Amino acid sequence: MTLSPESVQKQSLQWQEELKVQRDRLGQAQSVVADASQKIAMIEGGLQFAGALAPAEPAPEAEAEAPAEPACEMPSGEGS
């Protein structure tokens, strides 16, 4: 298969257009990442601030739970 100069030029133009589309898409994605990163940092800062202002609460004591009683099983042949 031989490639004509016209087909090579046509393919080159298609690739240039696709390259522009993908660069624009990458720029948009980077903008979204930067925006989300900034919002995450702000929220984390707010949580740290709230944690610093909140009075230290003692850890709730876990009540010792009695072990669950095993289910009663009837021996085979009984209760029929």
Residue 26: closest CA among 14, 34, 37, 38: 34
Task: With a cut of 50, say whether residue 80 has pLDDT above it.
Answer: no
CA 20/CA 8 separation, integer angstroms: 18
Upper half-sphere CA count for residue 67 (Cβ side, 13 Å): 3
- Average pLDDT for residues 41-45, to the nearest whole number? 98
User: pLDDT tens, 24-40?
Assistant: 999 999 999 999 999 99
Residue whose structure tokens are 């919002």? 39
User: Which has more confidence, 37 or 77?
Assistant: 37
- Average pLDDT for residues 41-51, to the nearest whole number? 96
pLDDT value of residue 54: 86
CA angle 14, 17, 21 (to 5 degrees): 135
- Phi and psi at 57, nearest 5°, equal -95, 135
